[in-house]
Amino acid sequence: MSARLAQRLQAEVCVIGSGAGGAPVAAELAEGGVRVALLEEGAWHDPDHFTARSPEMLARLYREGGQTFTLGRPPIMLPLGRGIGGTTLINSGTCFRTPAHVLARWQREYGIEVSEDSLRPCFERVEEAISVDTVTPELAGGNAAVVRRGAERLRWSYGYLRRNARGCVGSGVCTLGCPTSAKQHTGITYIPRAQRAGAQILTGAQAKRVLIERGRAAGVLARLEGGATLEVRAPTVVVAAGTINTPLLLKRSGLAGRSGQLGRNLSLHPATAVFARMDEIVDMARGVPQSLYIDHFAEQGIMLEGSAGPPAYAALALPLTGARHAEAMRAFRQLAVFGLMVSDSSRGSVAALGSRPLIRYDMNAADLQRFRDGLVRMRELFSAAGAREIYLPLPAGVDPEMARRRDLKLMAFHPLGTARAHARPDQGVVDGSLAVHGLRGLYIADGSVLPSSLGVNPQLTIMALATRLALSLLEGDGSV
């Protein structure tokens, strides 16, 4: 063994990534008696050190300090988690099952044989594992109460969200690391299960290349902190590095490029938020930030979801400047906010720029119109709720009906599709079993395999598909 090759491990399955895809696979396989090694590029984060201070937590828990952006029109911030738990560590915990119409589309357009009935046992298994339950009106807090009032007056369809939380006290800082460990992210659910069952969990291990020998997975080469190399020998490899990093890893490995689809078909949920000043005390920082949804316009690709937070969040997100910003912040306890999320038809791509991802994404005219319509609806919502002032995320003087792409101030969540599943090897990277076309023993289990936007938060879909893959591997047939 060379000086640079610090470690060599032997496993039956090597899993890359500890988020919504990798952690369930590792836990289910390890509990089934499989020898598992899991590689996580980031660290394990101690919840006792979650301070809720935005600059500190962004630097610690997010890739690039939360400053990952897409390149295109308009540029969009794309926050991604880094560490044990992946993005489940820093998301809002919202749990939707895959909509039936999305599954039907996957069967019709991509040849993926998956249905509500076939996924139901996996959804139930995941929901039990991560303690999914519906937010109560009391825990939802004053911000949700304002929005609910507006929706009821307009007779819009709404509901309280289901989330993976147990013993939540409404700290209001889900995206900065839950300080009470109420949010049941994979780092405190599946990863401990995997460890108890004997899985080796290695942090600070960046996968550099997947090894293939005679058409079959043979292991993974990783770089450890300090620069030494780790070689994991394993006849089965499950890549779950996330929609942005999975295609880069496979490209570095010279794999999965036959279809020409690797790194393409990037789908996002572009989003923005609208603030309003109410006459009443709202205290948006108290309660679950993402607790209520309005699905009245879901068929149009528009979902409205909660998006509250502490004063630091409001200070950064308020679309105001100067004296108006200061005045609004002085009235922080009277501020309400709600999010607008678009199910996109735009598509982007991921490529490597040196050691970093280059994410290209241009919004098309249809998605721009969805934002225009959505902002009009948000204005109606807060007007119906009795808002004194409404702060749209647009430049002064720009009406939502006339907004251009460059006028929008957007973030995006839930990247999907860069290693999409398709029954045809010339149209997709993996098949319906999540196996990479043309290779044995190599699977992908993260959002990159989902072939289209879901219109809802995808973590439960990713976990259910990962669970199904693991159970299938334990049965020995490799099918999903």
What positions carry a catalytic annotation? Answer: 414
Q: Are 382 and 274 in contact (CB under 8 A)?
A: yes
**Phi-psi region for residue 20, left (φ > 0), alpha (ψ -120 to 50) or beta?**
alpha
Q: Are 18 and 186 in contact (CB under 8 A)?
A: yes
Tokens of residue 459, six digits? 């973590």
In 3D, which of 127, 183, 165, 166 has the Cα closest to residue 461? 127
Which residue is listed with tokens 């996924």? 119
Three-state SS for 160? strand
In 3D, which of 275, 300, 456, 276 has the Cα closest to residue 373? 300
Per-position b or e across 223-234, b if 16+ CB within 10 A of its CB: bbeeeebbbbeb
Rg of the chain in Å (alpha carbons): 22
The C-alpha atoms of residue 92 and residue 43 are separated, in whole angstroms, by 20
Tokens of residue 411, six digits? 């973030």
* Beta-carbon contacts of residue 84 (< 8 Å; ≥ 6 apart): 18, 40, 42, 43, 44, 45, 186, 187, 191, 201, 203
- Measured between its terminal Cα atoms, the distance across the chain in Å is 38
Q: Are 96 and 290 in contact (CB under 8 A)?
A: no
Q: Are 106 and 114 in contact (CB under 8 A)?
A: yes
The C-alpha atoms of residue 366 and residue 417 are separated, in whole angstroms, by 19
Per-position b or e across 102-136, b if 16+ CB within 10 A of its CB: bbeebeeebbbebeeeebeebbebbbebbbbeebe
